[in-house]
A and B are shown apart, each in its own frame.
Chain A
Amino acid sequence: MTTAPTTSTGPTTSRTPYPHSAGLSVLRHRRLSLLLHRRAAVVVTVLLLLLAGVMLLAACVGQTYVPPGEVWRVLRGHGGPYDLVVGELRVPRIVLGALVGAALGLSGALVQTVTRNPLASPDVIGVGHGAAAATVLALAAGTVASPGALPAVAVTGGLAAAALVSVLAWRHGMQPSRFVLTGVGIGVALSAVVQLYLTDSELAAAEQVKLWLTGSLNGRGWEQAGPLARVLLLSLPALVWASRALRPLGLDADTAAALGVRVQRTQLGLTVLGVVLAAVATGAAGPIGFVALTGPQLARRLTRTPHLPLAASALTGALIVVGADLVARTLVPPLEIPVGALTSLVGGPYLLWLLGRSGRR
């Protein structure tokens, strides 16, 4: 699993299996903090290389195999026989997958830090459910003339639901457990709306909605990737700010406050950022489960930081989505499994494996 070279120079404690001993060994030796950063940098570099490799592989493999040399030709704009299949079908889809994964990974890291719950994903605070319910309502009311307007509806719905959850849960500040509980409740109500639509509608419409609800990159590309890329770029300054705030917030609220963090304000800021990222990603590809949940946890285990690392979370998220989509469209050739179904299929066992490893959780 760890492809990163071992950077340990210190005592043999770093040879123990990583999940829970990693954070501890850092806390014990304060001088190791420099080493920690170096490890994170190495991990990020390796993840970047891996991501580039998987993206290239994804461009080569599919119904028709395209040699890497030809992919490179298309990428440089030289055209050729593979212009359509690589340039217009695969590349946009792969780029979109990477962006969606990065946004979800970032969002997961932010939301998990704020709720102090490694099981919290943006879905827990209503984003996915809100997007789904809004889409379904718009379809039922017939107000959406073109399918192109659906992402906008989904983003609006996701934001509205998350705002509703936050407003309802906010009472003398944000208490993580109340936040999560409210989110789950609102999620149940919103998914009931979706269920109702599924039984009310014609079978064909139900099928389409079901496909969207699972999260799929099929038939999507630049049209969805463009807005997502712009949002990610615009949020960069906020992300830099967030990366500084995450570390103290990972501690408990009192300690963070003692360290000079304005806890409530920071929590609110991080939540808004996380929700926007998740909503835009969901609008682009539907709610792809488990990426926001597992990406940050995986990243933290790789970098062995005590808090959730943002850059590594974004990269693991991107890697998961691009890799899962690659598998989803090549596993059973004529059939395209929605990428969201695959991430859940793989994410579930991953969580179980984690449970099996860490005896005391």
Chain B
Amino acid sequence: MGVALLLAVTAAALSLAVGTRPVPLSAVLDALVHGGSSPDALVVRSLRVPRTAIGLTAGAALGLSGAALQAVTRNPLADPGILGLSQGAAAGVVFAIALGWANGFDGYVWYAFTGAVLAACVVYAIASRGRGGASPVKLALAGTALSAMTAGATTVVLTSSSATLDQFRFWQVGALSGRDAATVGRMLPFLAAGALLVLACARGLDALALGDDTARALGHRVTLVRGCAALGATVLTAAAVAATGPIAFVGLAVPHLARRLVNGGHRWTLPLSALLGAALLLVADVAGRVVRAPAEVPAGVMTALVGVPVLVVLLRRKGMAS
């Protein structure tokens, strides 16, 4: 846990210092504490601080919600994508652009958020119909189905309107640059509420891992735990996706990593996932600024390119995929 915290702090420091205009760490500290109006201080305060803040919060939210979703659906593949959240957010953004309601990243936030939450509600409503309630498999299936459907709908819009595609492609790639500092502020209450909900369920999630019947026998209210954790994860993801665009992989891979590092149940893996998520996203963002300088590779692309080899190595270890 301490190591993860150190990692996240280092990543944040790197994110403040590295870029097309490298700023020595001492100058970063100076700008943060004393302000000032030197070019270095301006770059740090007006560009890098908001960017780093978005990276930290979005990364933590994605890691945390990924861990919660994997526990709720009892599916190691679960990430925000699998419950249809990312596609729901994307659909919200696409329709907002196409109808001329939103312009620029700041305008997308609420539509993305609404889309993601709506998608989660639909998925949950469908999955909980019929016998057995919202079982893990039904949740995953309903999410996949809804994802495909909304993806089809957004594609119809995108192929018929090039102006929409022109704006959407920059949102969809998932990046931390060009986002407003106010965005973080607006998302913060949602992130906090989501995190609280998820963390409060930690013990219940441990019991869920043993199966619904065992969890019930241990005195946990299965539906309540699952509902709370899913709601928290939904709010977290929706806020993160709204702020950065869909960033794949953080929610999928980070919980696997966290579980490998500690064996202490969800009271440990949940916060650890949050820290690792924040660190991973920031490191990816920093790397994206460096590899093709002066051009940037968006963080969403970097997380995928960096994270996949890690996942493959993990999978090849024994007992990982089963």
Contacts and interface: CB of A to CB of B under 8 A. Distances in A.
B257 interface: no
A210 interface: yes
Looking at chain B, what size class is its interface with the partner chain?
35 or more
Contacts of A67: none
A344 B148 contact: yes
A237 interface: no
What interface size band does chain A fall in? 35 or more
A110 to B, nearest CB: 20
B132 interface: yes
28 contacts: A119-B141, A168-B312, A168-B315, A169-B315, A178-B316, A181-B311, A182-B311, A188-B249, A189-B304, A189-B307, A189-B308, A191-B304, A195-B172, A195-B174, A195-B300, A199-B169, A199-B170, A203-B162, A210-B158, A289-B151, A289-B152, A338-B155, A344-B151, A346-B152, A347-B148, A349-B149, A351-B142, A355-B127
B159 A211 contact: yes
Contacts of B253: 185
A108 to B, nearest CB: 14
Contacts of B127: 355
Contacts of A349: 145, 149
Interface in A179-226: 180-182, 184-186, 188-189, 191-193, 195-196, 198-199, 203, 206-207, 210-211, 214
Contact of B141 (A177, A185, A355, A357): A355
B320 interface: yes
Contacts of B315: 168-169, 178, 181-182, 185
Nearest to B306: A189
A81 interface: no
B297 interface: yes
Q: Which 6 A-B pairs have the closest CB atoms?
A: A348-B149, A344-B152, A359-B131, A178-B321, A192-B304, A351-B145
B247 to A, nearest CB: 10
Given A198-B173, A347-B145, 6 more contacts: A181-B77, A195-B169, A210-B165, A341-B152, A351-B141, A351-B148
B76 A181 contact: yes
Contact of A214 (B155, B170, B173, B301): B155
Contacts of B151: 289, 344
Nearest to A331: B156
A196 B130 contact: no
Contacts of A199: 169-170, 173, 298
Contact of B301 (A181, A195, A289): A195
A107 to B, nearest CB: 17
Interface string A43-56: 00000000000000
A228 B311 CA distance: 35
A196 B173 contact: yes
A360 to B, nearest CB: 5
A180 B308 contact: no
Interface string B145-167: 11111111101101110100110
A355 B126 contact: yes
Contacts of A359: 130-132
A29 interface: no
Given A168-B316, A340-B155, A342-B152, A185 B308 contact: yes
B159 A341 contact: yes
Contacts of A193: 301, 305
Contact of B142 (A185, A206, A337, A355): A355
B160 A352 contact: no
